[in-house]
């Protein structure tokens, strides 16, 4: 057991959340850390420079992104070992959430350095709240694979989830992704959010069967919020539902109780019906 409150090394990493579009969406604490951290690493120095200029902040910047070398990670770890504070800021949103940072943060934590989050904007949180779809619970998946075959396989794995799913996508692939989602998921309700917090912010609510009606010239970063798989109480294949739940390693009794809580049926009836079908 490792408790961060008991770590003795003074070096630490601050994960600084930055605006996802509107430069006013940044916290006072984030600005304070940006000004005072010993070293500041950003995904793209040009993007972060615009943020700093907006707030009249002058300071040195270094880059750290998905294509950074292991030597750059070694350099950051060396700074931490010397007791320095290091800030990591992505182009938009929270570092590591579909953005760079995981490798160096993982190494730093394993070597006993503190990781301090500076909360702030997140496109996924903004999107699910705008969607008006159920968000208790919801699954943040991030970007699907670029290749259609792998994307389809990922969606097949998500098909049985009964909670809202949040997916990031680019405008170049949005139509293909929605088409494959319709082919795999069937006709579910979707909210497509784009340009969140920006001038042309927009939400488009529709059913997946309507994907071809979307304009072809949609621009901006996209977030797809899709409703989960529904179980209709009066039209349910108990045997199939139980087989899905049992894949998670639950006992037959536990699975019966879980399905009962979702359908309103008696757990004992579900249990007995499953055994009856299974013995056929």
Q: H-helix or E-strand containing 72?
A: helix 70-81
pLDDT at site 231: 64
Q: In this predicted model, what pLDDT tens digit does every residue of 219-267 receive, in sequence order?
A: 998 999 999 987 655 556 777 888 888 888 889 998 888 888 777 778 8
Q: Which CATH architecture has domain 9-121?
A: 3-Layer(aba) Sandwich (3.40)
Distance of CA 245 to the CA centre of its chain: 24
- Top CATH class of 124-226 equals alpha beta
Structure pTM? 0.79
Q: Tell me the C-alpha distance between 199 and 21, whole Å.
A: 9
Structure confidence at residue 280 as a pLDDT band (50, 70, 90)? low
Dump pLDDT digits (tens) for 52-101: 999 999 999 999 987 788 899 999 999 999 999 999 999 999 998 888 78
Q: Give SS3 for 127.
A: helix
pLDDT in tens, 117-168: 999 999 999 999 999 998 888 999 999 999 999 999 999 999 988 889 999 9
**pLDDT for res 242:** 83
Q: What DSSP string runs through 27-60?
A: -HHHHHHHHH-SEEEES-HHHHHHHHHHTT----
Domain ranges of the chain: 9-121, 124-226, 238-278
What does the block give as tokens for 270?
């579900």
């Amino acid at each position: 057991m490792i408790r961060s409150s008991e770590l003795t090394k003074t070096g630490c990493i601050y994960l600084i959340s930055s605006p996802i579009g509107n430069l006013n969406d940044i916290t006072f604490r984030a600005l304070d850390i940006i000004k005072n951290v010993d070293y500041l690493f950003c995904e793209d120095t040009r993007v972060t420079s615009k943020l700093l200029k907006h707030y009249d902040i002058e300071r040195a910047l270094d880059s750290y992104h998905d294509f950074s070398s292991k030597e750059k990670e070694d350099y950051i770890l060396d700074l931490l070992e010397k007791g320095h504070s290091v800030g990591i800021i992505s182009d938009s949103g929270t570092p590591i959430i579909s953005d760079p940072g995981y490798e160096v943060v993982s190494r730093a934590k394993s070597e006993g350095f503190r990781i301090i989050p500076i909360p702030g904007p997140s496109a996924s949180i903004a999107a699910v709240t705008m969607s008006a779809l159920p968000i208790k619970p919801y699954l943040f998946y991030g970007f699907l694979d670029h290749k259609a075959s792998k994307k389809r396989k990922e969606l097949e794995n998500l098909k049985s989830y009964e909670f809202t799913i949040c997916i990031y996508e680019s405008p170049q692939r949005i139509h293909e992704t929605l088409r494959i989602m319709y082919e795999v998921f069937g006709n579910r309700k979707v909210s497509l959010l784009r340009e969140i917090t920006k001038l042309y912010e927009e939400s488009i609510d529709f059913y997946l069967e309507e994907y071809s009606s979307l304009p072809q010239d949609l621009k901006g970063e996209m977030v797809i919020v899709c409703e989960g798989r529904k179980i209709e109480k009066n039209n349910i294949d108990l045997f199939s539902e139980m087989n899905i739940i049992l894949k998670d390693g639950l006992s037959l009794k536990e699975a019966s109780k879980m399905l009962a809580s979702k359908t309103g049926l008696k757990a004992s009836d579900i249990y007995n019906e499953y055994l009856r079908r299974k013995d056929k």
